[in-house]
Amino acid sequence: MSAPDLHQMGVAELAQAIADKKTSSTEATRHLLARAKQHEALGAYLAVNEEVSLAQARAADARIAAGERTPLLGVPIAHKDIFVTRDFPTTAGSKMLAGYRSPFDATVVARLGQQGAVTLGKLNCDEFAMGSGNDNSAFGPARNPWDPARVPGGSSGGSAAVVAARLAPAVTGTDTGGSIRQPAGFCGVTGIKPTYGRCSRYGMVAFASSLDQAGPMARSAADCATLLTAMAGPDIDRDSTSLDHPAEDYGRLLGTAWGEGRDGASAAQPLKGLRIGIPEEWMNWADDAPTTDQRVSGDVTLQVSGALKQLEALGASLRRIRLPRTEMSIPAYYIIAPAEASSNLSRYDGVKFGHRAAKYDDLLDMYKKSRSEAFGAEVQRRIMIGTYVLSHGYYDAYYLKAQQIRRLIAQDFRAAFAECDLIAGPVAPTVAWKIGELADDPVAAYLADIYTLPASLAGLPCMSVPAGLGATSGLPVGLQLVGDYLKEAELLQVAHALQQATDWHTHAPAGY
């Protein structure tokens, strides 16, 4: 098998080729590491270690030689640098943790490793996952393979870039307010954030504990299902917020008819009976002329509408629903997430690990200097916001109110799922912006999170599926799908049906 084909393969294909001994894990790993080096300018990787990766690959090859088979055996993947790893440094994109080495692997990393996946390295991200452009990384920006002058999205920007640029068939990401879905949308790849609690947070550098959730990103829904099946599952001895639900095969509904065919779904119309709700607060859905808010770009409106029509053609019925507190999700999120972050990041004090200022006068000065030197501007901004909203006298007005709104948003979804099986709309109002474009306007970046925040606040499973390239920009647009709690398999089933009928997810940026 010739090397160039290896990086074009998805997870399933590559696993099959390795299992069939048409190639080896070692060969695939070597090839993808070389490719990562070749595309260093993307800024996607923060750490690689050829020796470690090749040792893992040889171990996988040995397992294959011994007759073992798993859907991920020998498949090289890479991890967002938010997951702690024993064999690679973990920085969370922050100077604070430069050179930090964890004595243990994150549960998600360990589970993928047990399934035989090989780790290629650690991926760039916004500092402590705070950002939507991957331009808040202390180690420089990751770039969008579709246009290196543009952001790949964030915070899992390096993850999305690597998948789009064919540097790895699949990666891990984390999503707090859209950090898997938005970069997946900006880079034209598929990503899923499962129900809060599906994936263990043990070993994920915490940003906002009540929102953080891990998920896979890949080039197809089917490959995402394979990774999610390996990553998810209860971990109640290490993460108290881990859901105590038995492990699931998230790919079990792929290629099957919706509702097991009860509503007349067939091979031609596999989604017959599926009711898709379009929130009017996200996009105004009228039969012929779908419109969106003026803030939403024409490219996004057109591509998302096209994808919805495609789902309709597959048998789904589209209906208007309401999510009336959509706009309130922005202030609610930007109170709750910074509040939790301000507390979660208190451990970085220069005492035990992480950056400590070289010179200081006393203890307080050591705290101030260490933290001021090592935290970037966006992290400092959120720590300050979070500290403020939790302060005595402000708690009720901000944090408590935001929690109340959060509950109302979850109620809105509950009401909506009484009328539909799945919710669809845009991932983001625009395509990827230029690096630096929003650097001086953090609020504009916050506002752009409007479509991803509601599902995060409600803890619902949601994903981003490629919806083709914008006619004007030539850049990828993502379709967002949101399911009810624990409906990951249904989400993946619908995304897979769409990908069976279209080729949007197969588009590669020029030169990759």
Partner 1 sequence: MSKASPSLLVHGYEVVIGFETHTQLATRSKIFSRAATAFGAEPNTQASAVDLALPGTLPVMNREAVACAIRLGLAVGAHIAERSVFARKNYFYPDLPKGYQISQYEIPVVQGGAVSFYLGDEKKTVRLVRAHLEEDAGKSLHEDFIGQSGIDLNRAGTPLLEIVTEPDIRSSAEAVAYAKELHKIVTWIGICDGNMQEGSFRCDANVSVRKPGAPLGTRREIKNLNSFKFMQQAIDYEVRWQIEQIEDGHAIEQATVLFDPDTGETRAMRTKEDAADYRYFPDPDLPPLVVSRDWVAEVKAAMPELPRAMAERFVQQYALPEYDATTLTQSPAMAAYFEAAAQASGQAKMASNWVMGEVSRRLNNEEKGIADVPVSAAQLAALLQRIADGTVSNNAAKQVMDALWTGEGAEVDAVIETKGLKQVSDSGAIEKIIDEVMAANADMVAQFRAGKDKAFNALVGQAMKASKGKANPQQVNELLRQKLG
Work out whether 237 is an interface residue with partner 1 (CB under 8 A): yes
Q: What does the DSSP assignment read for 209-274?
A: TTT-EEEEEESSHHHHHHHHHHH-S--TTT-TTS-------TTTTTTSPGGGGTT---SSSTTTT-
Work out whether 203 is an interface residue with partner 1 (CB under 8 A): yes
Residue of 62, 65, 313, 363 that binds partner 1 (CB under 8 A): 363
Residue type, 102: S
Is 434 catalytic? The answer is no
Work out whether 103 is an interface residue with partner 1 (CB under 8 A): yes
Distance of alpha carbon 268 from alpha carbon 288, whole angstroms:
23
Kindly identify the residues of this chain, within the stretch 245-304, that bind partner 1 according to CB under 8 A: none
Looking at the Cβ atoms of 321 and 385, the one nearer to partner 1 is 385
Work out whether 62 is an interface residue with partner 1 (CB under 8 A): no
By CB under 8 A, how many residues form the interface with partner 1?
Answer: 44
Is 359 catalytic? The answer is no
Looking at the Cβ atoms of 114 and 346, the one nearer to partner 1 is 346
Residue type, 374: A
Residue of 62, 65, 104, 436 that binds partner 1 (CB under 8 A): 104
Q: What does the DSSP assignment read for 109-133?
A: HHHHHHTTPEEEEEE--SGGG--SS
Residue type, 369: K
Q: How buried is 114 (Cβ within 10 angstroms: 0-12 exposed, 13-18 middle, 19+ buried)?
A: exposed
Question: Containing H/E element for 370?
Answer: helix 363-374
Q: How far is the CB of 105 from partner 1 (least distance, A)?
A: 9
DSSP E strand stretches across 303-356: 317-321
Is 329 catalytic? The answer is no
Residue of 266, 372, 391, 411 that binds partner 1 (CB under 8 A): 391
8 Å CB contact between 498 and 311: yes
Residue of 49, 90, 115, 430 that binds partner 1 (CB under 8 A): 90
Contacts of 290 (CB under 8 A, 6+ apart): 283, 284, 301, 304, 305, 308
- Contact segment (CB under 8 A) with partner 1 among 23-31, 48-56, 116-124, 348-356 equals 348-356
Angle between helices 50-65 and 25-38 (to 10 degrees): 160
Residue of 5, 50, 89, 241 that binds partner 1 (CB under 8 A): 241
8 Å CB contact between 85 and 112: no
- Of 25, 94, 102, 155, the catalytic one is 155
Work out whether 392 is an interface residue with partner 1 (CB under 8 A): yes
- Contact segment (CB under 8 A) with partner 1 among 144-152, 295-303, 390-398, 491-499 equals 390-398
Work out whether 378 is an interface residue with partner 1 (CB under 8 A): no
Work out whether 51 is an interface residue with partner 1 (CB under 8 A): no
The count of residues in the chain is 512
Catalytic residue list = 80, 155, 179
Which residues of this protein are in contact with partner 1, per CB under 8 A?
Answer: 83-84, 90, 92, 97, 100, 102-104, 106, 201-206, 208-210, 236-241, 339-340, 342-343, 345-347, 349, 351-353, 363, 367, 387, 390-392, 395, 399
